[in-house]
Structure 1
Amino acid sequence: MDSDVEIAIRAAEAASDVLRAAFRGPVEHYAKEGDDFATQADIAAEQAILEVISAARPDDRFIAEESGRSGASRADRVWLIDPLCGTRNFAAGTPEVGVNIALREGNSLKVAAVADPFAGEIFWTAGTGAFARRDGADRPLAPRADSKLVDIDVDPPYPNRGTFSAGRLFTDDRFMTRFHPRVLSTSLALVWVAAGRRAAYLTDGDFRDNVHFSSGIALCRAAGCVVTGLAGEEVLAGAHGLVAAADTATHERLLEIIARQHVTDR
């Protein structure tokens, strides 16, 4: 029997196949809340994931971006599925997207897989250590902060976001003189922190059962990154926002800058 992490990797590979086949082809939009939308590729990739996991783990529960909740309603094992993170990029023909899959048991994230379909790379963890798989070979992830590159999610406001706005860091001299901000517009940037390609990633929002970020959070933690809410609190226990940093020093600097923004607001 395959392990949970191999099932997650296989499901991420199946979704990646779907996305590559549909890329830069005709795009059909399906309206969601506000101006948000899904495409036929989101739906087909999610179906491919669900087929792989449900066939191997029929007694589990699922929370998926497009189809919502399904499976065994009282199961303690819950798969969190985001079939296409970066839908706007994909629809515009930009190959910067990710596939996010995580398994939560109780309050713990046990397994995670994040695929970069167009780089042919899958990041994964089974709870101890984090790895990147390319061409069938695995190598351990090693966070590094020396690039000073920080990705910032500047999507429209989340509900109950508080006073902090990630986008305002671009006008904060304390931030701009210490770091080099980037905006990737997909949670793939969170995994890049674990891989040593970014010094940090930050955004706001609520991260309980979050299909976009749960897998990346699990990978960052397994790789040894520092991951908290915007005030340094536990990120999966109702914390507001997310700061994932390659090391403690970078994390502390970012928390200090964010805290000073709150003081200025008052």
Structure 2
Amino acid sequence: MINSYANADDAEVAIAAARAGADVVRGMYGQRLGRIDKGAGDFATDADVEAEKAILGVIRAARPDDAVLGEEGGQQGAAGAARQWLVDPLCGTLNYAVGNMLVAVNVALRNGAAAVADPFSGEVFFTDGESSWVRHAGADARLVPTAATRLVDVNLDPPFPNAPGFRAVDLLAHPGFVERFRPRVVSTTLALAWVAAGKRAAYVTDGGDLSGSVHFAAGVALCRAAGCVVTGIDGGPVGESGRGLVVAADAETHGLLMSAITRPGSGR
């Protein structure tokens, strides 16, 4: 089955790889899993490791000359490879370890196709780099972002590299925010796929350069291709000089969030 993807386009490879990881995550759910300590309260489980192996199996069979940067296995493949895949086999490990199903499997070709799989809904959100879709029950539907829900997911997980200038928790109490939006606190980048799909109006997280992050690359690619507004928390491009991430369904929503982030009372 894996070899059947050797002639597939990059988007189909990303979908197949994300699905392979999602199958492992779903299959191991609820089991007693070993933990690998990463320090500072972070850890991986056996499911993270096995899901990454399954993802790498698809990529290696379909694209043997490509390099891979994996959350668990690090850099693999030829150092001088022209193409690199970014893999986060289980985003939301703590959720998963305590029996919470809010997790994502992220696979992205740097500056190319990407897929985000929800192991428990069966949805796979994907992009070919030009448009974004969701595949569910054998059918594909175009992703259409909208701010209609008014729901904004805010990541409150540490670290907070931009504090005290920016604290995401302060955003939740900002008058301009609470007047317009309804906050949700989430600890998985599945929230980025929800913005692209119109299930959320926006997503906000602190951080440094997230453009090449195994956690965020697939979701950012989805949102950009779907037509969302994607910037750092300073309003600048997401990149080496960027700070954190603000992803909004449209320009108006993005502008409202930036006003709440940068005006007095927001912590900046």
State the TM bucket, normalised to the shorter chain: over 0.9
TM-score w.r.t. the length of structure 1 is 0.94
The percentage of aligned residue pairs carrying the same residue is 52
Deviations 1:162-203 (A, max 9, x none): 621112212222211211000121000111000000000010
Q: Corresponding residue for 1:95?
A: 101
Q: Corresponding residue for 1:41?
A: 47
In the TM superposition, residue 159 of structure 1 has moved relative to its aligned partner by 4.0
Match of 1:56 among 62, 73, 80: 62
Match of 1:248 among 240, 244, 251: 251
Contact 2:166 2:267 in 1 (8 A): no
Contact 1:164 1:262 in 2 (8 A): no
The 2-side partners of 1:17 and 1:183 are apart by 26
Amino acid at match of 1:113: A
The 2-side partners of 1:119 and 1:263 are apart by 35
The 2-side partners of 1:176 and 1:236 are apart by 29
Contact 1:27 1:39 in 2 (8 A): yes
Amino acid at match of 1:47: K
2:74 matched to 1:68? yes
Q: Corresponding residue for 1:224?
A: 227
Q: Corresponding residue for 2:8?
A: 2
Contact 1:144 1:199 in 2 (8 A): yes
Amino acid at match of 1:210: S
In the TM superposition, residue 238 of structure 1 has moved relative to its aligned partner by 2.9
2:129 matched to 1:116? no
In the TM superposition, residue 161 of structure 1 has moved relative to its aligned partner by 5.7
Count of residues paired in the alignment: 261
Contact 1:208 1:238 in 2 (8 A): no
Contact 1:164 1:261 in 2 (8 A): no
Amino acid at match of 2:137: D
Amino acid at match of 1:184: V
Unaligned segments of structure 1, at least 5 residues? none
Contact 2:166 2:266 in 1 (8 A): no
Unaligned segments of structure 2, at least 5 residues? 1-6
Amino acid at match of 2:227: G
Contact 1:166 1:204 in 2 (8 A): yes
2:189 matched to 1:193? no
Q: Corresponding residue for 1:163?
A: 165
In the TM superposition, residue 99 of structure 1 has moved relative to its aligned partner by 0.4
Q: Corresponding residue for 2:211?
A: 208
Q: Corresponding residue for 1:82?
A: 88
Amino acid at match of 1:220: C
